[in-house]
Amino acid sequence: MSKKVLITGASGFVGSFLVEKALDLGFDTYAGIRSSSSLEYLQDDRINLCYIDFENLAELTEILETQRFDYIIHNAGLTKAKDEASYYKVNTDLVSTLLQAIERSEIPLTKLVLISSLAAYGPADLTSEGVVKENSIPQAVTAYGKSKWEAEKILKSSSKVPYNIVRPTAVYGPREQDFLTVYKMINQGLELFVGYQTQKLTFIYIEDLVEQIFNIMLIAKSGKNYFISDGHYYSASQLHNYIKSALQKKTVKLRLPLFIVKGLAHITEFTSRFTGKYPPLNPQKVAELKCKSWVCDISPLQKDFDFKPKYYLAEGIENTIKWNKQRKLI
């Protein structure tokens, strides 16, 4: 009998790829979604759709008691929100509810994997060594990161549930929406830079990420946690050059002082009240743009799994641009 895995947040960018990987690996795969979730990337007949209301503890407990999952990948989360409370409601409180449901249902769970974020620890420029490590003091600079760190603390305090925590840096690839804004801008011939300092940016391609999540779920010792990037760091100029190369575009470069971008972020946030769609450029994003380095330590991943990414940024961007072009999104 196939092992059962529940993947929450299954309709989103990372979640939909996790579902596909689970199917490829032969899992009896349950896609945890809300009633309002898009099913665009959940069309495979082998997928078991599992509608979850995380605010209903009794209902969630019943689902776990009935299905008896072997593994849970808790990927559901909020990356953009109009207010700070929303981050904690989704990113933190859902973890607490899920843990209560697991304990009440008394299912013999083999592993719970929490998809957290490098943002939970904050940037490397706040560390003494210039790189974020497991023993670094978490210093999140955004409400998103702080809510993720609170979720980690809740999970670590639970002694009954075997777990791993995965902390990806910026994830990109097909289906991702925020980077699409940058692709479109460069495709229109405009290259926008923020501020005058050079950042050390880190990335992980979606396929590399999901492969390692399953390696960690199946092999890693409970309680072991991992940062994930492709092991390199890049400047914004390098990122833009890879995009321009993939698009075969020349651009006009425009550099805006940080205070102007901050003002624009507040304007776009305000106008989103009328559009109903929270913008990629917002005050939380500006807080990240102010940071000098997002370098993280992936040596535990390299040691435990001999991790070598299949895609570095140049190849990953090329694949992503090709996918977006095929679907006429660019």
- CATH number, residue 304: 3.40.50.720
Compute how many other C-beta atoms are within 10 angstroms of the C-beta atom of residue 16.
25
pLDDT at site 291: 72
Three-state secondary structure string covering the chain: CCCEEEEECCCCHHHHHHHHHHHHCCCEEEEEECCCCCCCCCCCCCCEEEECCCCCHHHHHHHHHHHCCCEEEECCCCCCCCCHHHHHHHHHHHHHHHHHHHHHHCCCCCEEEEECCHHHCCCHHHCCCCCECCCCCCCCCCHHHHHHHHHHHHHHCCCCCCEEEEEECEEECCCCCHHHHHHHHHHCCEEEEECCCCCEECEEEHHHHHHHHHHHHHHCCCCCEEEECCCCCECHHHHHHHHHHHHCCCCEEEEECHHHHHHHHHHHHHHHHHHCCCCCCCHHHHHHHCCCECCECCHHHHHHHCCCCCCCHHHHHHHHHHHHHHCCCC
Residue 292 above 90 pLDDT?
no
pLDDT higher than threshold 80 for residue 277:
no
**In-domain check, residue 270:** no
Give percent of the chain with pLDDT exceeding 90. 79
Rounded CA separation 197/293 (Å): 10
**Residue 213 domain-assigned (yes or no):** yes
**Number of structural domains in the chain:** 1
Q: In the prediction, which pLDDT does 10 show?
A: 98
Residue 325 located in a structural domain: no
| Averaged pLDDT for residues 12-35 | 97
How high does pLDDT run on average in the chain?
91
* 42 falls within a domain: yes
* Residue 117 confidence (pLDDT) above 90: yes
**For residue 110, what pLDDT band results from cuts at 50, 70 and 90?**
very high
pLDDT band at 75 (very low <50, low <70, confident <90, very high): very high
Tokens of 325: 């072009």
> 60-74, 197-211, 256-270: which range is least confident on average?
256-270
pLDDT tens readout for residues 229-248: 999 999 999 999 999 999 99
pLDDT for 319 equals: 97
Stretch 111-135: mean pLDDT: 95
Strand partners, 194: 256
Residue 118, Cβ density class (10 Å: 0-12 exposed, 13-18 middle, ≥19 buried) = buried
Print the domain residue range for 97: 4-172+203-230+295-311
